[in-house]
Amino acid sequence: LNRRLAEFGTTIFAEMSALAVSTGSINLGQGFPDTDGPEEVREAAVRALRDGRGNQYPPGPGIPELRTAIAAHQLRRYGLSYDPDTEVLVTAGATEAIAASLLALLEPDDEVVALEPYYDSYAASIAMAGGRRVPVTLRPDDGGFRLDLDELRAAVTDRTRLLLINTPHNPTGTVLTRAELAAIAELAVERDLLVVTDEVYEHLVFDDAEHLPLATFPGMRERTVTIGSAGKTFSFTGWKVGWVTAAPELVSAVRAVKQFLTFVSAGPFQYAVAEALALPDAYFDGFRRDMRVRRDILAQGLTEAGFEVFRTAGTYFITTDIRPLGEKDGFAFCRALPERAGVVAVPNAVFYDDREAGAPFVRFAFCKREEVLREAAQRLRSM
């Protein structure tokens, strides 16, 4: 592995999922649902395969049906209007969208200000693009993790090219508020920054939290690349269908890179996701309700097992502090947990440049069947 990428050997998700398999543990590490998405969407994929739609190279930017459905979704949910032909790009999951956006928009040594802890592919993608990451750390505050806007402002320099935002936020479960997003937008406009915003958990917000796309804030539509994923929204993480919506110059830059990463994304799944995006609001409401119940089961189990549990307003994840258990090193804790309790979790330290700052935090995924979460909670309580 070259020097730029030497620090990115194997992802923590691969390591922890392998550990779950080899020890027969319940896998609350890697975030993937253990129940597939809607039957009618699976049927749509089967129909496309059988009818020969998408079995040969689909159009590079994505099939027109899917681009139209993505644009319609952004309009219906958020009042954001995008031209399906020039302002929407289908990608191989959000992972490719992130990588292609950074490869397209960064010059060598450009600084990228990113929220920390950050989803692991951000650091690797910034490195692939030759950029420099500048983390702004979310810190425990009043039961959740919060962004310090002064720290964010202070992180921006003359070398900053873009802000990399993620809301709802993996791994903390923080959903940025209207006031925080407004401040981020003001900063981006004032310093003339591009913004890449990873909104893959847009439909997974709980209680009174609301997902507000950054692109809806004044001055943002023209400078924001917004990323979504059918993996998260429809529980088909294996299909690897994601997308980008942005102004035409930004989309064409990202598309130029995508051509040489994957050329196109898998065809039949695009037809199915186009149908999924048109599902009635009842689907999205039910999905959110189910996930909230699961969050509550896991949060209660973790609390009873002695963890400090941070509030999760969105995503698949709960972040905990293991210090009340007399532990302080999340890595060691997660490596021992399969033997101790038959459960796998992820040490948040892997999402930090400052590994010390992340050391006591451990992430558990609740996108699992209720009985699986209850069993995991039982095991953790009795460890």
**Is 94 one of the binding residues for ligand PMP (CB under 6 A)?**
yes
Q: How far is the CB of 239 from ligand GLN (least distance, A)?
A: 13
Closer by beta carbon to ligand GLN, 115 or else 220: 115
Antiparallel, parallel or unpaired: β 132-137 and 111-116:
parallel
Scanning 75-83, 87-95, 282-290, 299-307 for contacts with ligand PMP by CB under 6 A, the matching segment is 87-95
**Is 242 one of the binding residues for ligand PMP (CB under 6 A)?**
yes
- Candidate residues 27, 167, 229, 320; the one interacting with ligand PMP per rule CB under 6 A: 229
**Is 31 one of the binding residues for ligand GLN (CB under 6 A)?**
yes
Closer by beta carbon to ligand PMP, 242 or else 268: 242
- Candidate residues 74, 95, 174, 224; the one interacting with ligand PMP per rule CB under 6 A: 95
Closer by beta carbon to ligand PMP, 31 or else 330: 31
Closer by beta carbon to ligand GLN, 226 or else 237: 237
Burial 4-20, CB ≥16 within 10 A → b, else e: eeeeeeeebbebbbebb
Contact 348, 206 (CB under 8 A): no
Contact 256, 104 (CB under 8 A): yes
- Candidate residues 38, 54, 62, 93; the one interacting with ligand PMP per rule CB under 6 A: 93
The residue among 138, 143, 197 whose CA lies nearest residue 166 is 197
For residue 78 the two structure tokens come to 């958020």
Select the binding partner of residue 11 from ligand PMP, ligand GLN, none (C-beta < 5 to 8 A, by kind). ligand GLN
The residue among 159, 147, 210, 211 whose CA lies nearest residue 183 is 147
- Could you say which residues in the range 135-194 bind ligand GLN, by CB under 6 A? 170
Q: How far is the CB of 310 from ligand GLN (least distance, A)?
A: 16
- Could you say which residues in the range 116-175 bind ligand PMP, by CB under 6 A? 119, 166, 170
Largest distance between two CA atoms of the chain: 59
Q: How far is the CB of 339 from ligand PMP (least distance, A)?
A: 26
**Is 13 one of the binding residues for ligand GLN (CB under 6 A)?**
yes
Closer by beta carbon to ligand PMP, 92 or else 183: 92
**Is 31 one of the binding residues for ligand PMP (CB under 6 A)?**
yes
**Is 37 one of the binding residues for ligand PMP (CB under 6 A)?**
no
For residue 109 the two structure tokens come to 């040594």
- Candidate residues 27, 30, 137, 172; the one interacting with ligand GLN per rule CB under 6 A: 30
**Is 231 one of the binding residues for ligand PMP (CB under 6 A)?**
yes
Contact 351, 285 (CB under 8 A): no
**Is 23 one of the binding residues for ligand GLN (CB under 6 A)?**
no
Q: How far is the CB of 206 from ligand GLN (least distance, A)?
A: 18
**Is 198 one of the binding residues for ligand PMP (CB under 6 A)?**
yes
Q: Could you list the residues that contact ligand PMP (CB under 6 A)?
A: 31, 93-95, 119, 166, 170, 198, 200, 229, 231, 237, 242
Q: Could you list the residues that contact ligand GLN (CB under 6 A)?
A: 11, 13, 30-31, 170
